[in-house]
Amino acid sequence: MSEADGIHSNEKWQEIKAQRVRVKLADGTIFRGKINLNSEAVPADRMSDFFLKGVSPFIILFDVSAQGRNSFFILNKSHIVWITPDD
């Protein structure tokens, strides 16, 4: 592909580093799914790094089982009460 196609040869794609988690929101909703620790500009080794050093106000929670189907959700970090690994 060329730059004319919108693909630049110097773009670097990071491998997905999925972490299974449980998330509780301020309204009491609890989600179980995965977050990608490498979704920020600087990859995170730990979940705490992802939240403390990440600049995006949102997280993408994927592989969420809800109502019998797999879904994804975009969650505002300011609405998260707690998040824990779900091994």
Give tens-digit pLDDT for 34-78: 999 988 877 888 888 888 888 899 999 999 976 677 799 999 999
Mean pLDDT of 4-31: 77
Give the pLDDT of residue 2.
Answer: 46
Which tokens belong to 73? 């959700």
Give the pLDDT of residue 13.
Answer: 62
Q: Can you list the domains of the chain with their CATH numbers?
A: 15-85 (2.30.30.100)
Residue 21 and residue 9: Cα distance in Å, rounded?
Answer: 34
Residue 80 has pLDDT above 90, yes or no: yes
| Cβ atoms within 10 Å of 86's Cβ, excluding its own | 13
Give the pLDDT of residue 1.
Answer: 45
Give the pLDDT of residue 81.
Answer: 97
**Would you place residue 84 in the very low, low, confident or very high pLDDT band (cuts 50, 70, 90)?**
very high
Residues 6+ apart with CB under 8 A from 61: 21, 23, 31, 33, 34, 35, 72, 73, 74, 75
For the purposes of burial, counting CB atoms within 10 Å of the CB of 30, is it exposed (0-12), middle (13-18) or buried (19 or more)? exposed
